[in-house]
Amino acid sequence: MDDKKCIICSNLLNEFYPDNNRGRYHIVCPACGAYQIYKDLWDDSVLSKFSSKDLKLFSGYLRNNFSPQNQMLITGEICVKIPKIILPYDEMSITDKINGVFKDIYGNTTKILGAIKLSSSDVYRFYLATIGDLQLILKHFRERGFITFSEENGVFTCFRTIKGWEEYEKLKEINISSNKVFIACAFGTSYQENLVKTIRVACKKRGFDAELVSDKRHNDDISHKIIGDIKESRFVIADFTDQNNGAYFEAGYAMGMGLEVIKLCRKDHLEEKKDSQFDKQKRLHFDTRQYSHIAWENDKWTDFEEDLVNQIKATIK
């Protein structure tokens, strides 16, 4: 590989190889993670029309919502929707970003006084602009006694503290008292009414009130309504049927806030179909993600309700 740079964040790539049979490139970037993109989009530098700021936000979206096992395929349709995908992250407050870094340090371990390494490749997944922003946040944590850290060759080794754990527990409790659940799903579909009704019934059985944001999405203020509702919620239930892009960025924003996200999808959109008439564009972007979704079927709403009740019971403490 001849020192190729990522078309999204401009970092030097770890891996880059073509899949000529399917007309796409497979890419591993230290900042964006693993993803795939159609060759014509890469070769024509389609993403160059976006600003550096927008691409940094999209980089964070990729890193936080996908993995080497569950890679996003960047298509022309995805490129068109990038402004909408990144909107929630563009409107994140400074406090939300700071809390995102803090939750990352403390939320992914059971070791009381262990360490975590952060570097320039982590900047965009926190929706920050520069390594200087990350360093400033880490210094703030250190001054408050939440961490200690050392720096060598641009890598920050962050050590957790007892005081930091106490602060993390307080931060987790912000939404503990909320009984509100945010529903992210496609509007105007044939199944929306039954899906939302079943979600509400399942949530009610566990003592939660599930709410659906207004479907009048032409309103310029709707994104603010969505962000506000997510912040007030105990957790989020997101349905990815029909590759609902709204669910992708709403779920991604919630996860960035440290909220639990229960993922749903219609069963036939999770399965590989031999029937060539099945619309492949409706399937999830990933091949092996069905393990993390609750599958539902039309006319089997009672079964789905039971599965969702059990998932809420197991997931939301």
According to the model, what pLDDT value does residue 218 have? Answer: 39
CA distance 169 to 172: 5
pLDDT of residue 92: 84
Domains observed in the chain: 15-81 (no CATH), 94-173 (1.10.10.10), 176-315 (3.40.50.450)
Q: What is the pTM of this model?
A: 0.73
pLDDT at 254: 83
- Which candidate, 110, 210, 218, 219, places its Cα nearest to that of 168? 110
% pLDDT > 90, the chain: 59
For the stretch 85-115, pLDDT in tens is 888 788 788 988 998 899 899 987 878 888 9
Instruction: State the Cα–Cα distance between residues 157 and 115, nearest whole angstrom.
Output: 6
pLDDT of residue 256: 72
Residue with tokens 């005081």: 163
149-208 per-position pLDDT tens digit: 999 999 999 999 999 999 988 887 767 778 999 999 888 889 999 999 999 999 999 999
With b meaning 16 or more CB within 10 Å and e meaning fewer, what string describes 222-252? ebeebbebbbebbbbbbbbbbbbbbbbbbbb
Neighbouring C-beta atoms of residue 280, cutoff 10 Å: 8
Intervals of the chain under pLDDT 50: 215-220, 274-278, 281, 286-291
Closest by CA position to 147, among listed 121, 171, 166, 125: 166
Sign of CA dihedral 143, 144, 148, 150: negative
pLDDT at 188: 82
Write down the residue that tokens 């995908």 correspond to.
Answer: 85
